[in-house]
Amino acid sequence: MAAIVEAARAQDWSKHLGVQVAAVISNQPQAVGLAWLQEHAVFSKIKTEVLDHTEFESRAAFDQSLMARIDVHAPDLLVLAGFMRILTPAFVAHYHGRLINIHPSLLPAFAGLNTHQRAIDAGSKFAGATVHQVSVEVDQGQILAQAVVPVLEGDTAETLAARVLTQEHLIFPEAVAAFFKSQAVSHPTK
């Protein structure tokens, strides 16, 4: 999230792409991203909100409430940056074509959790990160961008994760910007 917010400011997305980061909504009251935004006053125009999923009786009830909170901002794109919950089909359908996520593997390999250890255990020579459209099937949507990182001899899940994370911070903002550039080409008056 921080990499996207910083890229939006540094590359002046408002001027060059006609977009801005409007809000950050977290399901975790102690999310690091929320604290980061509070510490960086330059981003004070970004609205923040917490919607704690543990206060809802079901995943569907949480997703309905989350959709209502998101829709207030009328987003052109919804970016899942550190959001670690499986979304209901209704949620995914509601934001079809404008919902993206990043996953710490070279999808379709190692979808789901524990990706780095699984890559090491499988003897993979390469790992990486994938930005993808969100689909109902977890980590199976259209691939938008990937970055490759070598798996080094002696790597642990932690050391590999750290190298992959540096690439995530590069490709996620690039993929967000590319989304809006493609929209401008598809809809020149927008």
Separation of alpha carbons 2 and 182, rounded Å? 23
Under 8 Å CB-to-CB from 176, ≥6 apart: which residues?
A: 4, 7, 8, 77, 79, 100
Separation of alpha carbons 136 and 93, rounded Å? 8
- The single residue of 53, 94, 103, 132 carrying the catalytic annotation is 103
Q: Residue 94 catalytic?
A: no
112 near 137, Cβ under 8 Å? no
Separation of alpha carbons 30 and 42, rounded Å? 21
DSSP string computed for 136-148 = SSTT-SPEEEEEE
Residues recognised as catalytic:
103
